[in-house]
Amino acid sequence: MKMAKGLPQILLLFSILVFKSTFFYAQDFDVACRAAQPFCSDASLELTFPNVTGDMDGLGEVGCLNTTPNPAWYFIRIDQPGELIFDIQQWVDSNDNSNLDRGERQLDVDFIAWGPFPTSFVNCDILSQGCDNNGDGDNIRPAECVNNVDDPDYYVNNMDNTNIIDCSYARTPDDDIYIETLTIPNAQSGEYYIILITNFADEAGVIQLQQTNLNEDNAGTTDCSILEPGVGPDIATCGEFPITIEGRFPRAVTYQWARADVGTTNFVNVPGPPGVIPFLEVTTEGVYQLRGFDETGAEVPDSPDDLVVLDVSDAVVSVGYSIAEESFAGGYTITAEVVAAPDVEAAGFDDFEYRLDRDIGNGFLEYRPFQSSPIFTNVPPGDYFITARYANCPASEEISDVIMILGYPKYFTPNGDGFHDTWSLINIEDQPTALIYIFDRYGKLLKQLRAGGPGWDGTYNGKNMPSSDYWFRVEFNEPRDPNMRRRVFAGNFSLIR
C-alpha cells in the first residue's frame, strides 16, 4: 500500500471522551459504526488521539480497502458548506507529545468515508461496501472501487454510484512519509459523514487529522458543537420539515425526548419508550429536550439539554434604515434596521443577512450581494432598496422603502446621444423649494434650475458652452435632519464635449 507525500501541522479538535483501543475491537460490520466518535477540525488546537490495535481481522474487504485491520470509527458534522480536504496520518508517538518528531516511525494508515447522512446514528448496513461503476444497481462489489491515489476524480465525480464519499490507500516508503487525503467536494450544512480509519501495522500509536484547506475560498468547516454533551445548537428552518435532531451524553445508555412550545418550558415526553439511539425526526417547530440515563436508570451528568427548532419563513416583519452622513457627502454609510417577528426575537435567533439593490429606472440592479453585516459603506448617491431575510431563507425576504440619497453627477456630455445629455442634481425632485444655480469659473451665473426640471443642457443664451469645469450652489432642506433644516452646498462638475 502506497501513501502520498506531505507533513502537515495538525489542526484537530477532538472530543473530551477517553478513547480506548478495546472500544473498537472487532464487531459485525452492520453494528460497528454505531461506536463512531465525533471529531472536528479547528485551527486553534492541535490534538491527537490513540489508534486501535489487536484486531487484525477487522471487517474484511470494504470498498477500495482489501483489508481493514484495527478499524476505528469517527463522524463529522458540517457547519459552513463547501469543500473539505483532510490529511490523515498515523505514527508511534514515542515521547507522547502529540507531534510527529524527527526519528518517530510513521505507520501505514488507510481510510474509507461515507455520506452524506442526516444523522450520525446510521445503521451500518446502509454503508456501501462496494462500488457500482455502471450505475445499474447490480453486482456492487469492492473490486470495482478505485483507490483515490490512482484516480483522484473517481469519488469526487461519484463514479462509484454509491454513498462512499472517498477511499484511499497510499504509501511512499522511499520518502518515509505516510499520508492519506480525504476530500468531501460539496458538503452542506448539517450533513454527517462517517469515516473508518485502519491501522495496518497493528502497532500502538496516534492518529491525526488535519483540514488542510481551512480559511481558503469555498472551503467548508466542521461543527465543533458535536464534541459537547447534549443536543447542539438551535436550528432555523425555512419551512422545511421533517428535520432530524440528535444528541448524546457520556455514560448514557437510554434516552428520552420531550417537546414544548417555543417560549415555554411545559415539556411533554415524545410518545414511545426511552430509546438507545438518541435521534429524532421532528415535523413541527418547538423546544426539544433530551434526557440521558445510565444502566441503573439514573439521569447522567449534563442531562437534560434542549434546542429550539424554529421556522423562520416569517422572521422579518419590516426593514428600515439609517444613513450616517448628511447629503452631498459623496459616499454614504447605510445601516439596515430589521424588525424581527416576536417569536424569532424571543428565541434569540439573529442570523439575518442583507442585500443592497439600486433602482436604475427600468428595474432593480443588485448593487451589493447578501452579507451578514447590516452596514453598507461608501455608497454613492442614487435610489436604493435593502432586502433583508433570515440567513439562507428566501421565504423570509422583506424590502425597505426606497432610499433616496441626494447627490450630483461629476460630469455630463451634451452631445445628443441620449446619455448624460443634461446635468441636474440627483434626487432633488422632492424638494420643490430648493434653489439651484450654475456658474462658470469666473462666478458668472449661467442658469438657475428648477428642482425636478429638465436640467442644464450646457448652453448659455442659446450657445454651447465649452468643455470645462463649472460650479453649482444648492439651497435645500437637509433630509437627514429631523427638522429638515435649510442648508447650502456648493460643488463643481465637468462639461465634456
Sketch the domain layout of the chain as residue ranges.
13-226, 229-311, 316-405, 411-495
Q: Is it the case that residue 404 has pLDDT exceeding 80?
A: yes
Looking at per-residue pLDDT, the higher value among 425 and 94 belongs to 425
Among 244, 254, 337, 333, smallest CA distance to 282 is for 244
Name the nearest CA neighbour of 393 among 292, 308, 303, 315.
315
Residue 172 has phi, psi (to 5 degrees) of: -135, 80
The answer for residues whose C-beta is within 8 angstroms of residue 296's C-beta and 6 or more apart is none
**For residue range 366-393, what is the model confidence (pLDDT) as tens digits?**
899 999 999 999 999 999 999 999 999 9
Residue written as grid cell 444528541: 247
Q: What is the pLDDT of residues 67-106, one digit of tens each?
A: 999 999 999 999 999 999 999 989 898 888 878 888 888 8
CATH T-level fold of 229-311: Immunoglobulin-like (2.60.40)
229-311 and 411-495 share one fold: yes
pLDDT of the residue at 106: 86
Supply the pLDDT for residue 47. Answer: 64
Got the DSSP string for 354-409?
EEEEEE-SSSEEEEEEEESSSEEEEEPSEEEEEEEEETT-GGG-EEPPPEEE-B--
- pLDDT at residue 395 in the model: 97
pLDDT of residue 18: 32
Model confidence, pTM: 0.76
Q: Is the pLDDT of residue 175 over 90?
A: no
Cell of residue 195, nine digits: 469515516
Residue range 239-243: mean pLDDT, rounded: 94
CA 192 vs CA 117, 195, 246: distances in Å: 5, 10, 11
* Beta carbons within 8 Å of 199's beta carbon, 6+ residues apart: 51, 52, 53, 69, 70, 72, 90, 107, 108, 109, 205
Average predicted confidence (pLDDT) for the chain: 88
| Res 139 pLDDT > 70 | yes
Asked if 164 contacts 141 with a C-beta cutoff of 8 angstroms, the reply is: no
Q: Which residue has the higher pLDDT, 119 or 27?
A: 119
Strands 37-40 and 72-77: parallel
Query: What pLDDT is stored for residue 398 in this prediction?
Result: 97
Tell me the three state secondary structure of residue 155. Answer: helix
Average of pLDDT values for 198-219? 90
Q: Say how far apart CA 279 and CA 121 lie, in whole Å.
A: 7
**Least confident interval from 1-5, 70-74, 164-168, 321-325:** 1-5
According to DSSP, residue 225 is labeled G
- Cβ proximity of 157 and 185 under 8 Å: no
Superfamily in which the 316-405 domain is placed by CATH? Immunoglobulins (2.60.40.10)
Asked if the 411-495 domain carries CATH number 2.60.40, the reply is yes
Can you tell me the distance from the alpha carbon of 2 to that of 359, in angstroms, rounded to the nearest whole number? 60
Over residues 9-14, mean pLDDT = 31
3-state DSSP call for residue 423? strand
Residues in a beta bridge with 300: none
In this prediction, residue 174 carries a pLDDT of 54
Does 129 score more than 70 pLDDT?
Answer: yes
| pLDDT for residue 284 is more than 80 | yes
Bridge partners of 332? 379
Q: What is the DSSP letter of 172?
A: B
With a cut of 50, say whether residue 165 has pLDDT above it: yes
Mean pLDDT to the nearest integer, 337-362: 93
